[in-house]
Amino acid sequence: MIIGTFKKNTDNGFHGAINTAGLNLSGVVFEAMEKGANYALSAANGSECFEIGAAWEKSGEYGPYLSVKIDSPVFAEPINATLKLQPNDAGLYALRWNRPKARNED
């Protein structure tokens, strides 16, 4: 499920918005980092900016992507998503939510 769309920045990051039934954030920025995660995620709320997660560069069967973790004290658990590093025809990058797999309980 696509939960956000982003454009590439000139400084090798991304900017856009995340919109779901319970999470609406505009001014979301993926900022390239030198150490740790490849990107830090932040969002703006009026004049305030706050950290919401991190992203790591990965490569898989369908090419390069970012493995994204979004977290907040109001979440029961972090949101895991992916950002494929290939834009669509409109030049946008889609952030896709990955539903956690159900655990088999005995």
β-bridge mates for residue 31, sequence order: 40
Q: Has residue 28 been placed in a domain? A: yes
Q: Has residue 64 been placed in a domain? A: yes
**Domains of the chain: total:** 1
**Which residue range forms the structural domain that includes residue 34?**
2-97
Q: Has residue 26 been placed in a domain? A: yes
Q: What is the pLDDT of residues 26-83, one digit of tens each?
A: 899 999 999 999 999 999 877 888 999 999 999 999 899 999 999 988 788 899 999 9
Q: Has residue 70 been placed in a domain? A: yes
Confidence of residue 101 (pLDDT cuts 50, 70, 90): confident
Q: Has residue 105 been placed in a domain? A: no
Please give the pLDDT value at position 21.
79
Q: Which of 90, 47, 53 is nearest to 72 (CA)?
A: 53
State the amino acid at position 74 in one-letter form. Answer: V
